[in-house]
Structure 1
Amino acid sequence: MQTEESAAVTGPAWTSSRSGTYPGRFPLSVERHTMNLVDRLVPGVTTVTLNARYYALHGLVASEVDRRGLNLAAAQNLLRRAEVTIGAVSTRHYQRNPAAHEALSRPHAYDTILPQVRAGQVDLDRLAAPQVYAQPNWGFWPAYRGSEMLLRIVTRTNEIGPGERLDQSAVQAGLRDVLELLDEKTLDVDLLDAYEELCVCRAVDSPDGAWLARLLAASGTDADGTRAAVRRQTLRMIARCLQLTEVYQVSTDVSQFVAYAPESFEDRVLTSLDLTAEWRGLILRNHSVAAWRGLWAWLVNGMSGLTTRSQFTDRFAEALPDVAVADFLAGLPHTSTPAGRAAPAEHDPDLDAAATPVRCLGVLCLGARRAMELRGRELHGFQGHDPEDIFEELAPAWLAAQLDRWKPRSLRDFARWLAEVMLNRSQRLALAKARRDPRSGTLKIPTRVHTRDEFVFRDSVESSGGAALRWDQLAGILAGAGLLSRVDGVWTLGPRGDLIV
């Protein structure tokens, strides 16, 4: 009998008893359009780029690696020691003055560094060793690398090198003291306090922060369609929203303002920005994304042990009113105002108060209606131009066509059919994403839901929620560079905010 690692099996053999599945992400793949458009509209920031000063720090390291001509291992060691140093100073300052960090994320590896800060001494040698404060050999740089390359702060030359937009004099002026600490074996709290200006919060008034603010704001960019010009429009839109309304959480409050507030349709600045309408369409589409994911999580997490397909679909059907599809649609709130603008239908109080399956299906039907109502850049933000995406299974336009066919028929029968569509789609996508594990030879399938003949079961809990618009991460980065600020929970323009107004 051959082992599991064998490349081929000749004759009978026992298969491995280990599971070939693991919890996958995006089981219905309803997020693709939203995530692709967010990537275009917020270039240079991702969901894992959390603090502005790391952009400058990595630029400083890239410059120093280039200057010293370091090999790969030495470059990685230098970067890890620099990140731990910044993390230690920032963790200490966060403990002493949390108000100064109100608009910022905690420094990377905060939970790992904090116990040593509290003990009075940070062991730089031990924490900066490979796979201690961070698993990758490059520390947290992989989370920033794509964004920093797009901004041309670094290049892949010799794995890390200075990019053409890196202002070496600015990062040296703001962060050169990091280099003085890299040869220390330990950093005691007195030393951390003495180098407080290296904290992630101090980029707001430092030369490296000023350079990064200008780079992100791209105030000299006039060429339409460039990544920098697109980012500038997004920044100007958010800045203008902060001037027009009170914002406590950017992703929630700005989204609702841009999507529905009369000022977002009338304000001179917002209407002059092409991306405002595109963002509005994207925000409205994200309600459908959240509804699909919420409905799927409700269906999956409601299973208890082995479930038949009919039980799976019946649970959805029985949670809905016994009416025709047309009657359900007629009872939904209006999606447009008399002036033809987007109405806050997705936040209708009756819909908000409804049980999860009713609310999610209602929001999905509103999205299907919007696919027929929106025009121009709003429609582009909502569904794009690719026919394969527009009419893909579960997309709003696809759902609109299905609802039209089902109008005279039972809503509960429609729910049974839709639950089957979702279940079958999840299985097809899981198999399409399956990959062979080169170490074990096992086919790894990303799924939480399994079907066996007419039975369905789950092996873990499914999550819900919309796709990330990256606005919270963006606001934190902008605050770190002094473009935005947050005081007593309210977001405002920062000391360098004039660059984005």
Structure 2
Amino acid sequence: MNVVDRLVPGVTTVTLNARYYALHGLIAAEARKRNLGITAAQDLLRRAEVVVGAVSTQHYQRHHAAHEAISRPHAYDVILPKVRKGGVDIGALAAPKVYAQPNWGFWPAYRGSEMLLRIVTRANEIAPGERFDHAAVRAGLDGVLGLVNERTLDTDTLDTNAELCVCGSVDSPDGAWLAELFSSPGADSNATRAGVRRQTLRMIARVVQLTEVRRVTRDISRFVAYDPVAFDDDVLAGIDLTAEWRGLVLRNASTTAWRGLWAWLVNSIEGLTTRADLSDRFAAALPSVTTKNFQDGLPSTLTDTGRPAPAEHDPDLAATATPLWSLSVLLLGARRARELTGHELHGFQGHDPEDILEELAPTWLADRLDDWADRPLRDFARWLTMIMIDRSQRLALAKARPDPKNGTLKIPTRVHTRDELVFRDSTETAGAAALRWDQLAGILAGMGVLARDEDVWTLGPRGDLLV
């Protein structure tokens, strides 16, 4: 996740729409202009978000095709019933903890990104940043300030102000400003955040030109990691971060495998279970071979030309049950830790020496596999189960905090241990760690850099910024 954060500066898993970046900058500028106190600024911001949310919800209902590549507005499910009734009470929805729980509405989800982009200031007060283009944003969103003080928004008003919809930034002045800010023409060096972001954006733009992308993360990941075209294309080869992203995609496979294996182990706990019983369940799901023999039977991680092979997506491997599949992918990742070099290796293992050798990291696992090479795979699985349980407890204790209400220590964990017994208080979920490409694609679509036609992603009207 640290590598993802570095390679996609300005975007997180909860920044969903381009227009909110501009809207928050506008409200910051207006609050500074009016010299508003914190409470008044919060109220103005919440009312503005409700206006944009209501207009966008109405437009989404009437013109769904215009939103094909763009996420629905925040609080859509809360605002929709009001829109359908024909009247949105701005004050009622904008009240604290109604359409959004935080006092600042949905701004907390965006503020870190907006500060990094210098749309808003880094100070504790709400104020516009040095990269905020007031004229461009007012030209696109000035209508918001004309509606925030209305009591209600009826259907006609929502339709009349459709240009304020989250999809409106595709061809509006605020969208053009944001597209320039995100794409940062001329900043191609990976020594700056702007340059890193531009390289990532250029890579994604080039991929949608070279192959059919329907599901962003799935299709771009497989293309960048394994497709020969991704290695041979001059544009992609000229972007240093393409190789780093390739390494990160391969590492994400290992992360997904750890999550899947841990979820399977946790959900295998039934009432009070001994550590030995839980480790035996893992062992029983594996073949009776040595650890080395099992490794040797895994798919090749390199092609004949020495490039990464799609071993993680081998059909026979995909057909196996969760514990066997997870362990197989983890062992493939351990093998890759000794095969990858250069930028690919940097993306795969990160740049922090402590993380590279961290427990459960691919390099750590590769070293442990050497120790277990001639010993039974099932015994290795039993040992690994103990490692995972102990690690989960250490991490939980590291995150433990006293409850300010009653002073008791809150330990964030589903798994609890008592000597040799383990039990859980809820089920565990699995899944891949987010590369943020889906969020990034939606934001780029909102500013007209990308688009989607019949479920296929393409360059948008402002895509030339990345060509």
In the superposition, the TM-score normalised over structure 2's length comes to 0.99
Query: Does the 8 Å contact 1:72/1:158 carry over to 2?
Result: no
Summarize the alignment of residues 199-238 of structure 1 with structure 2, pairs less than 5 Å apart: 199-238=165-204
User: Within 2, Cα distance between the matches of 1:475 and 1:487?
Assistant: 14
Q: Are 1:301 and 2:267 counterparts?
A: yes
Q: Does 1:123 align with 2:89?
A: yes
The question of 1:444 aligning with 2:385 is answered no
Q: 1:374 corresponds to which residue?
A: 340
Give distance in 2, aligned partners of 1:405 and 1:127.
Answer: 61
Q: What whole-Å deviation, never above 9, does each CA across 1:361-386 have from its counterpart, x for those lacking one?
A: 00000000000101111111111233
Please give the secondary structure, in 2, of the residue aligned with 1:486.
strand
- Give SS of 1:334's match: coil
Using the TM superposition, give the Cα deviation of residue 458 of structure 1 relative to its aligned residue in structure 2, in angstroms: 0.6
Partner of 1:81: 47
Q: Decide which of 269, 286, 290 is 2:252's aligned counterpart.
A: 286
Determine which of 260, 279, 282 is the counterpart of 1:316: 282
DSSP 3-state at the match of 1:134: coil
Give the distance between the partners of 2:354 and 2:195, measured in 1 at CA.
28
Distance 2:446 2:312 in 1: 33
- Indicate if the aligned counterparts of 2:12 and 2:439 stay in contact, CA closer than 8 A: yes
Q: Is the 1:299–1:312 contact (alpha carbons within 8 Å) kept by the matching residues of 2? A: yes
Aligned counterpart in structure 2 of residue 269 of structure 1, from 225, 232, 235: 235
Residue 158 of structure 1 deviates from its aligned partner by 6.0
The number of residue pairs the alignment matches comes to: 467
Deviations 1:99-134 (A, max 9, x none): 110101110110110000011100111001111111
Work out whether residues 349 and 355 of structure 2, in 8 Å CA contact, stay in contact via their aligned partners in 1. Answer: yes
> Which residue in 2 is equivalent to 1:482?
448
1:425 paired with 2:391, answer yes
CA distance in structure 1 between the partners assigned to 2:289 and 2:190 by the alignment:
50
Secondary structure, aligned partner of 1:122:
strand
Query: C-alpha distance in 2, partners of 1:392/1:128?
Result: 46
The residue that corresponds to 2:376 in the other structure is: 410
Is 1:61 aligned to 2:27, yes or no?
A: yes
CA deviation vs aligned residue, 1:201-222 (integer Å, no higher than 9, x gap):
0110100000000100001325
Q: Distance in 1 between matches of 2:190 and 2:89?
A: 49
Cα offset, 1:224, TM superposition: 4.1
Aligned residue number for residue 70 of structure 2: 104
3-state SS of the aligned residue for 1:373?
Answer: coil
| Counterpart code for 1:212 | L
Instruction: Work out the CA distance in 1 between the residues paired with 2:182 and 2:14.
Output: 17
| Cα drift, residue 182 of structure 1 | 1.0
Relative to structure 1, the CA distance from residue 307 to residue 204 in structure 2 (aligned partners, 3 Å threshold; closer, same or farther) is: same
User: Could you tell me the TM-score, scaled by structure 1's length?
Assistant: 0.92
Give the counterpart of 1:355 among 288, 298, 321. 321
Provide the rounded CA distance (Å) in 1 between the counterparts of 2:123 and 2:351: 37
Specify which of 191, 195, 203 is matched with residue 157 of structure 2. 191
Distance in 2 of aligned mates of 1:432 and 1:126:
41
Offset, 1:71: 1.1
Q: What residue in structure 1 maps to residue 17 of structure 2?
A: 51
**Matching residue of 1:4:** none
In structure 2, what is the equivalent of residue 154 of structure 1? Answer: 120
Distance in 1, Cα, partners of 2:249 & 2:92: 45
1:500 Cα deviation from its structure 2 partner:
0.8
**Aligned counterpart for 2:8 among listed residues 23, 42, 45:** 42
Distance in 2 (CA, whole Å) between partners of 1:298 and 1:158 is: 44
Match of 1:136 in 2: 102
1:458 alignment partner in structure 2: 424
Separation in 1 of the partners of 2:123 and 2:390?
46
Unaligned runs of 5+ in 1: 1-34
Letter in 1 for 2:433: A
C-alpha distance after superposition, 1:232-269 (max 9, x if no partner): 00000000000000000111100000000001111000
Separation (CA, whole Å) in 2 of partners of 1:452 and 1:39: 37
Aligned to 2:310: 344
- 3-state SS of 2:338 partner: helix
Counterparts in 2 of 1:158 and 1:452: CA distance versus 1, 3 Å: closer
1:156, distance to aligned residue in structure 2 (A): 4.1
Equivalent pair of 2:188/2:198 in contact (CA under 8 Å): no
1:376-408 Cα offsets, whole Å, 9 max, x none, are 111111112333211111010111111111111
Aligned twin of 1:179? 145
Pairwise CA distance, 1:188: 0.6
Kindly state the Cα deviation for residue 95 of structure 1 after the two structures are TM-superposed: 0.6
Q: Post-superposition shift, 1:59?
A: 1.0
Residue 32 of structure 1 corresponds to none
Q: Residues 55 and 161 of structure 2 are in contact (CA less than 8 Å); yes or no, is this contact kept in structure 1?
A: yes
CA distance in 1, matches of 2:352, 2:47: 46
Counterpart-to-counterpart distance in 2, 1:385 and 1:236: 23
Corresponding residue number in structure 2 for 1:5: none
SS at match of 2:142: helix
Query: What is the CA–CA distance in structure 2 between the aligned matches of 1:393 and 1:468, rounded to whole Å?
Result: 21
RMSD (Å), alpha carbons: 0.9
Provide the rounded CA distance (Å) in 2 between the counterparts of 1:417 and 1:273.
Answer: 42
Structure 2 letter corresponding to 1:469: L
Q: Which has the higher contact order (CA 8 A, sep 6+)?
A: 1
Counterpart CA distance in 1 for 2:302 and 2:127 is 51
User: 2:361 corresponds to which residue?
Assistant: 395
Name 1:250's counterpart in structure 2: 216
CA distance in structure 2 between the partners assigned to 1:445 and 1:175 by the alignment: 45
Distance 2:196 2:310 in 1: 27
1:59–1:417: structure 2 CA closer, same or farther, 3 Å change rule?
same
Counterpart-to-counterpart distance in 1, 2:346 and 2:124: 40
* Structure 1 residues 350 and 230: alpha-carbon distance in aligned structure 2, compared to 1, 3 A threshold: same
* CA–CA separation in structure 2 for the residues paired with 1:405 and 1:322: 18
- Whichever residue aligns with residue 414 of structure 2, its letter is R
Compute the displacement of 1:306 (Å). Answer: 1.2
SS of 2:337's equivalent in the other structure is helix
**SS in structure 1 at match of 2:351:** coil
Q: Does 1:164 align with 2:130?
A: yes
Q: Secondary structure at the match of 1:225?
A: coil
SS of residue paired to 1:491: strand
C-alpha distance after superposition, 1:386-436 (max 9, x if no partner): 332111110101111111111111111111001111111111111111111
